[in-house]
Structure 1
Amino acid sequence: MLDFNRRLFLGLAAGGAAAARFGAARAAELRPHEKELYEAAKKEGQLTWYTGQYQAEPSEAIGRGFTTRFPGVEVNVVRSTSQVAFQRLSQDMRAGVAQCDVFSSTDHSHLAFLKQNERLMPYKPQNAAGLIKAAQQAADPDGYFQVTYLGLFLMGRRSDQVSEADAPKSWKELLDPKWRGKVAVGHPGYSGAITSWCLAMRKLYGWDYFKALEKNQPQIGRSSADPVTMLNAGERQIGAAIPSATTLLSISRGNPITMIYPTDGTLMVPAPSGALKNGPHPNAAKLFMEYMTSPAYYEATRPFFSESLRPEVPPPPGSRPLDEVTMITADPDELERDGQEVKELWRDTFGV
């Protein structure tokens, strides 16, 4: 079994318990440090956010929520998969173009790379002190990036086509020949979360796991959320490594999907955000980082079933309590060291 960050798990469980005690947070008056940044940000009037953490709809809702809280400062939301977002930022940097103010990814190695290459602004949001301890502990110790998103990635089934008794219970059961042509999954070349999943599965079962999975001819999308779309459309019956938030949102809209928490571990991906050193709107970027670590941010994302990293904001409805979930995660150092290798192995194995 893959080791997971015990402190992170305990902090998440404690955060969920605190949410139950305190209930939903309410928008509060701006704190003094926010007011100061807001005055400076209004002169800049906007910021650009490259993000791979959420799908398009919640990303746009976050942008609107920020502008509602800070009128006069618009957010240009550029949403894609994490790998595509990083490729775009890399192209900007090679061309000497400064467009992005804040960068968010589900791949820890992206922010580690940007820090090592002195591309990030050293800024630790004051509001981060109110995050659950797990998120504070997972942040960059030098203050260059902060964990702003926690993704849980599991399996899902079309409940009108696959019964609970017949459904796979573990990642390993996806290799059963009865699932040939019935599984959908994302691509590590586009999704940071799928890169983490590949590393986790390789550590559990070796790369032979993916060689066996290839024999079942899975439908491969890009984003980790693409299989949810495929399940909704009836193109596949089982989704692998799909985000709980996107799945719960789909279920809430009447789609016949049931989540499966794998017995060999639900993948947990703590995901970071950071402000760019050469961003054209530095004060707006700092203000956005404050927003991303505030209760208002997690209230804006809660309607989309995102996990909350603030104790004042309760967990999403329909999710299993975190202390009841067996979780696994990919080590950040392993992601940075071996992430590219598993992307290449994937292309060699699946031909895409």
Structure 2
Amino acid sequence: MASAWKIFGAFGFLVLAFLFDPSLLTAAEPKTGWQAEWEKTLQAAEREGQVTVYIAGYGAIVDSGAFQKAYPKIKVLSVTGSGTQLAPRIAAERRAEKYLADVYNGGGNSLQQILYLGKMLDPIKPALMLLEVLDESKWWEGKHKYGDPEGMHIFVYEGNVSSGAGASYNTALLAPKDYGSHWDFLNLKLKGKIVATDIRQVRGAGLPWQYLYYHPQLGPPYLKRLYSEMEVTMTADLRQAVDWMAVGKVVLCLPCQGSPVVKAKNQGLPVDQFEPYHLKEGVSLSSAFGQLALMNRAPHPNAAKVFINWMLSREGQTVFQKIMSVPGDARNSRRIDVPKEHIPPNERRKDGLRYFDVDDPDTKDIRPVMKLLDEIVPTKK
């Protein structure tokens, strides 16, 4: 009888323990498939001890220490530079049988034309493990965005609204209300007063040119007229283009990348960009440097998966937006469950609106753009 009471007492003690600390019951439950696989990957990543990320434009994300704080046993080593520096560097390293990069983060053109077409990437889709990353309802339009034709290799996590080709102007000499379409820039009043960044000489200037060339309402017919009739000045110096615009040597920059214009505007110079929804051809959606890829033959494959999942998590995307946004140049994750208060209303994505997405695979090839420019505006020798 005494032994029965002992058994009952022990059972009662366990019941009370679970009542007061339900986590004990949860801990006793077997882990689900994804949880077990994630823990196995994390343990293997911690044994690897390092992840090497080649990151263009957004190195400050790594420098913030947020990933290191989340995963202190995995040292993150970043290699920074422009996409046109990093992608060829990886290709050169691999020709020398040096496989150093685990993850690539950067703009789409170098990533697509060098790393993807060069068959240096593993599919990133199978590397997505966390439920909050896999849950496509957390992402804009209820889906993941990929920048490669197979929809497997290049994950696009950023989607910024911009005014198509980034048209910018001298605020004292041009009134936006007089120009409601890109075709209005063929007005003879602007002849000889337009400057353009020359994609053949400016690295990383592809996005606005993709918009002009591949947009169904613009394309080659528009470019031929603009650059053959309007005496457009081509330049490889973005700062010079903005300076010319600020002093009135030219009144319009098209196409023109936004960051130098925003910087000049914040310094009090009389320059600005057309509002995103102003021109009738509509707005573009672009990712700047917000694309992620998993290198094949990665030296730290498990740590690479951990970094990718962290980067695409709510925490990682919140860090990305906070660190990389500056006044007048907000960064917008394609995740919809991260804060958006920092994004001006006129720069926020709108549900149901059709955007020209320059990260679509069929707009990535900029070689036809350069060939057309060579025909219209030969480079000076």
User: Which consecutive unaligned segments of at least 5 residues does structure 2 have?
Assistant: 1-34
Judged with a 3 Å threshold, the aligned counterparts in structure 2 of structure 1 residues 48 and 153 are, in CA distance, closer, same or farther, namely same
Give the structure 1 partner of residue 139 of structure 2: 132
What's the TM-score once normalised by structure 2's chain length? 0.65
Cα displacement (A) at 1:197: 2.0
| 3-state SS of paired residue (2:333) | coil
Among candidates 333, 338, 343, match of residue 313 of structure 1 = 338
Cα displacement (A) at 1:275: 0.8
> Deviations for 1:294-318, whole angstroms, at most 9, x for unmatched residues?
1223222324111122222133422
Q: Which amino acid aligns with 1:306?
A: R
* Greater RCO, 1 or 2 (C-alpha within 8 Å, sep 6+): 1
- 2:224 equivalent to 1:199: no
Give the structure 1 partner of residue 231 of structure 2: 216
Q: Distance in 2 between matches of 1:204 and 1:346?
A: 18
Q: Distance in 2 between matches of 1:175 and 1:84?
A: 36
Q: Which amino acid aligns with 1:314?
A: P
- 2:335 equivalent to 1:334: no
Give the structure 2 partner of residue 20 of structure 1: none
| 3-state SS of paired residue (1:322) | coil
Which protein is bigger by CA-based radius of gyration?
Answer: 2
| 3-state SS of paired residue (1:199) | helix
- 2:273 equivalent to 1:259: yes
Q: Which amino acid aligns with 1:181?
A: K
> Number of matched residues?
311
What's the TM-score once normalised by structure 1's chain length? 0.69
| 3-state SS of paired residue (2:158) | strand
Q: Distance in 2 between matches of 1:243 and 1:109?
A: 17
Structure 2 matches for 1:1-352, cutoff 5 A? 37=41, 39-42=43-46, 43-51=48-56, 55=57, 58-64=58-64, 65-71=66-72, 73-80=75-82, 82-107=83-108, 110-111=111-112, 114=115, 118-124=119-125, 125-127=128-130, 128-130=133-135, 131-134=138-141, 136-139=143-146, 143-154=152-163, 155-158=166-169, 160-165=171-176, 168-179=179-190, 180-185=192-197, 187=199, 190-191=203-204, 192-201=206-215, 203-214=216-227, 215-221=230-236, 226=238, 230=242, 234=246, 237-242=251-256, 257-260=271-274, 261=276, 262-269=279-286, 272-303=291-322, 304=325, 305-315=330-340, 316-320=342-346, 321-323=348-350, 327-330=355-358, 332-335=360-363, 338-352=365-379
Q: Distance in 1 between matches of 2:42 and 2:280?
A: 47
Q: Distance in 1 between matches of 2:157 and 2:151?
A: 16
| 3-state SS of paired residue (1:314) | coil
> Deviations for 1:18-76, whole angstroms, at most 9, x for unmatched residues?
xxxxxxxxxxxxx887766555445433413243xxx4xx4324542433443452341
Q: Distance in 2 between matches of 1:266 and 1:135?
A: 20
Give the structure 1 partner of residue 6 of structure 2: none
Cα displacement (A) at 1:135: 7.1
Alpha-carbon RMSD across the aligned residues, in angstroms, is 4.0
Judged with a 3 Å threshold, the aligned counterparts in structure 2 of structure 1 residues 242 and 136 are, in CA distance, closer, same or farther, namely farther
Judged with a 3 Å threshold, the aligned counterparts in structure 2 of structure 1 residues 74 and 238 are, in CA distance, closer, same or farther, namely farther
Q: Which amino acid aligns with 2:339?
A: P
User: Which consecutive unaligned segments of at least 5 residues does structure 1 have?
Assistant: 1-30
| 3-state SS of paired residue (1:207) | helix
Q: Distance in 2 between matches of 1:118 and 1:278?
A: 11
Q: 1:299, 1:313 within 8 Å by CA — same for their partners in 2?
A: yes
Q: Which amino acid aligns with 2:89?
A: R
Q: Distance in 2 between matches of 1:144 and 1:134?
A: 20
Q: 1:123, 1:145 within 8 Å by CA — same for their partners in 2?
A: yes
Q: Which amino acid aligns with 2:273?
A: M
Q: Which amino acid aligns with 2:309?
A: E
Give the structure 2 partner of residue 28 of structure 1: none
Cα displacement (A) at 1:219: 4.1
Judged with a 3 Å threshold, the aligned counterparts in structure 2 of structure 1 residues 84 and 166 are, in CA distance, closer, same or farther, namely farther
Q: Distance in 2 between matches of 1:173 and 1:122?
A: 44
Q: Distance in 2 between matches of 1:70 and 1:251?
A: 40
